[in-house]
Amino acid sequence: MTEESPALYVVATPLGNLGDLSARATEVLRAVPWVAAEDTRHSAPLLRHIGSPARLLPAHEHNEEAAARQVIERLAAGESVALISDAGTPAVSDPGARIVGHVRAAGYRIVPLPGPCAAVTALSASGLTVPHWLFHGFLPAKAKQREETLRELAPQPAALVFYEAPHRILETMAALAATLGPVRRIVIARELTKLFETIHVCPLGEALAWLDTDPNRQRGEFVLIVDAPEAEDGDQAEAGRVLKLLLDDGLPVKQAAKLAHAITGAPKNALYERALALRGDK
Ligand code: SAM
């Protein structure tokens, strides 16, 4: 922290293991006079642990506008502020984005201090080799909206990354398997960096049974990563294209599958199933 002008430091904090607070984050949190925190009671012990004398400003999702004004007042008075959330990186499924936007609009420096993030931590240990991933965070709590969201995400050629809390893990897992099918692999990353850290990889169709085997597996905080759908080979893509043309032309499912089989040689049953899915019957 050698710069003269005041800045908003956006500081990532540990997911569980205090040893993950970076040296730079420690230095900044000790040096700034103010820390804007999602939950001041939650963050006070962290600041005490590193001997930070900073005063705390509340900055949670329900007061972000007011918090932004307070932060800008401090910056206008020449004092730097650090922004932290309860765990991980601010503004990642956490408050912070609005404050950053207002502070930037007011012309002050924003300095990010990278560090823990549950999604990236889970990805790093997933072993998934797909080059793209799509961070969704929390799914909607209502079943219908959740299913719609999952249907939209399903064909994306990317690993899908979700956050989930323990009280919804079973429901969410059932919805993932029902909508994305039993074959895609899922990485269940639980309690990362904590005592009961667990990283389990299995086909989606086996995930509910795995959770059910031991109630402890349903406890704690979760990152769920569903692997990308298997890429189609050229023949499968061609069969799909022909099938879609026939359905778009108004042919019934059975006839479209039969004709697509005759034209492309792809298996009739698979074409029939696919035609049902394309028409929205499945
Ligand atoms: N900003 C945080 C980040 O950078 O990852 C995420 C905050 S979000 C409110 C909290 C969610 O993150 C939890 O419900 C869980 O899905 C995930 N999470 C946080 N800590 C975790 C951990 N130690 N292990 C697994 N997931 C975690």
- What does the alpha-carbon distance between residue 46 and residue 26 come to, in Å, rounded to a whole number? 10
Q: Where does the pLDDT of residue 233 fall: very low under 50, low under 70, confident under 90, or very high at 90 and above?
A: confident
- What does the alpha-carbon distance between residue 185 and residue 207 come to, in Å, rounded to a whole number? 9
Q: Strand 81-84 and strand 109-113: pairing?
A: unpaired
| Closest residue by CA, ligand 1 atom 8 | 93
CA of 231 to the centre of ligand 1 (A): 30
Which tens digit of pLDDT belongs to each residue from 149-187?
999 999 999 999 999 999 999 999 999 999 999 999 999
CA of 138 to the centre of ligand 1 (A): 10
CA of 4 to the centre of ligand 1 (A): 34
Between the CA of residue 150 and those of 126, 136, 139, 143, 204, what are the distances in Å? Answer: 21, 10, 8, 10, 14
- What residues form DSSP beta bridges with 135? 161
CA-based Rg of the chain, rounded to a whole angstrom? 24
Kindly report the pTM of this predicted structure: 0.85
Domains in the chain (CATH in brackets) are 7-115 (3.40.1010.10), 119-226 (3.30.950.10), 234-279 (no CATH)
90 pLDDT exceeds 90? yes
Quick one: pLDDT at residue 134?
Answer: 98
CA 164, chain centre distance (Å): 9
Residues lining ligand 1, CB < 6 A?
Answer: 15-16, 85, 87-89, 92-94, 117-119, 163-165, 189-194, 221-223
- Which residues neighbour 33 within 8 Å (Cβ) at sequence distance 6 or greater? 54, 55, 74, 79, 80, 81
Mean pLDDT of the chain: 94
CA of 161 to the centre of ligand 1 (A): 12
Mutational test site, ligand 1, from 11, 13, 15, max ligand atoms within 8 Å of CB: 15
Q: Where does the pLDDT of residue 280 fall: very low under 50, low under 70, confident under 90, or very high at 90 and above?
A: low
On the CB side of 152, CA atoms within 13 Å amount to 8
- Shortest-distance atom of ligand 1 to CA 16: 23
- Shortest-distance atom of ligand 1 to CA 162: 16
| Closest residue by CA, ligand 1 atom 19 | 118
Quick one: pLDDT at residue 89?
Answer: 98
CA of 260 to the centre of ligand 1 (A): 46
CA of 106 to the centre of ligand 1 (A): 30
Quick one: pLDDT at residue 151?
Answer: 96
